[in-house]
Amino acid sequence: MLRVVDLFCGAGGLSFAVQQIGYDLVGALEIDKNSCITFENNIKNCKLVNADILELTPEEFLAKIGANPGDIDLVVGGPPCQGFSSLRTTTKTENDPRNELIIEYFNYIDFIKPRAFLVENVPGMLWERNKKYLEKFYQLAEENGYTLYEPCKLDAKYFGVPQTRKRVFILGVLDGTPTGAFQWPLDPTHDAPDSIEVKTGMRTPWINASSVFKKRLKKSDPNNVHFNHTQELIEVFKSTPLNGGSRTESNRVLPCHKNHNGHKDVYGRIDPSKPGPTMTTACTNPSKGRFVHPTEHHGITVRHAARFQTFPDEYVFHGGIQSASRQIGNAVPVELAKVIIKHIGIKLLQSEIAFKTESRKVAA
């Protein structure tokens, strides 16, 4: 069984996927207290360490989870990405201290010495202004015995997730690990309904946002909560066309919107006939994007947001609506994570079998 560690685990998107596949989630590391509460209430049989990676050495981390260097097959993780985010466009982001966390991530890799590691981050990671961090990361990896594949940008809607969500994934494999004809990036499992791939049965059609709203929410679900809106805002929602209307159609033009052509999605309704918008850390706040319910006059609930990220309804997020929204927005969609990790895991397991077979031949 593959042994996995999750760094910057957050509320557990990658970790939950690991356990859903059937791999052994040995340990996880996360600084945010509410995320840890969510993690511990949903993910069992894993040693979670609530600490700052900058204040905890890799040696201390392995001791806490009861592992040694070389014990772990795969390390996954998404270092905080706010410094790389497209929503932060000033030059100050170039020196955002959070950008350095990707370097600390590799310091852990270097000590843990897994056979492979996976990094997830926002597309802004590849921008020219962030080039120095990525180049340093690649240099460290290659100098310490890892072969890194080219960063690949994947859109979650091509992998069974009902939202458009582009993220960058970097795969590193320890030198000497037999990977055969390892394919990276991996092929999509879903595609546009009118694509040749779907028409010929090679892929499944995208999953639309309607899937999120099809099943009624349980009143007893603690995540069946949405923002409380003023009556004025509720009237705006009422005047916004159903199933995809935007702020330009809501009869509400704020002074900040005059002579400004951007932010067209704020206060917009989600269109159920296509994959939903990217779930951000403010995914339940209609003032931050197209997060209004398709037909009801309020923002989407925490549960709706979790469904967009393909978490099951039994997965409960703790800490209140803003914290829960942030946890959901930071997570890797479970279904996307399952496809990627299983793809990597199969190759690692095949290489392990090949290594043991070759060893027996040599011994004989």
Q: What is the pLDDT of residue 278?
A: 98
Nearest to 25 by CA among 72, 57, 63: 72
Residue 300 lies in a domain: no
Q: What is the CA radius of gyration of the chain?
A: 22
In a domain, 273, yes or no: no
The rounded distance, in Å, linking the Cα atoms of 200 and 160 is 18
Instruction: For residue 39, tell me if it sits in a domain.
Output: yes
Task: Assign residue 140 a region (left: φ > 0; alpha: ψ between -120 and 50; beta: otherwise).
Answer: alpha
Instruction: Give the model's pLDDT for residue 280.
Output: 97
Domain hosting 165: range is: 3-192+335-363
Q: Residues 282-288: contacts with CB within 8 Å, 24+ apart?
A: 282/325, 282/326, 282/329, 283/308, 283/325, 283/328, 283/329, 284/226, 284/227, 284/321, 284/325, 285/227, 285/325, 286/227, 286/229, 286/233, 286/237
The answer as to whether 258 is a domain residue is: no
Task: Confirm whether 292 is domain-assigned.
Answer: no
Residues marked as catalytic: 81
Residue 236 in domain: no
Residue 178, amino acid: P
Separation between Cα atoms, residue 307 and residue 37, nearest integer Å: 19
- 132 in any annotated domain: yes
pLDDT tens column, 168-224: 999 999 998 876 667 899 999 999 999 999 999 999 999 999 999 999 999 999 999
238-289 pLDDT, tens digit per residue, is: 999 998 887 677 666 656 555 555 556 789 999 999 999 999 999 999 999 9
Could you tell me the pTM of the whole model?
Answer: 0.90
Structurally, the chain folds into a number of domains equal to 1
Evaluate whether residue 202 is within a structural domain: no
Identify the CATH number of the domain in which residue 106 sits.
3.40.50.150
For the chain, list residues with pLDDT below 70. Answer: 81-99, 179-181, 247, 250-264, 352-364
Residue (of 145, 135, 64, 140) closest to 106 by Cα position: 140
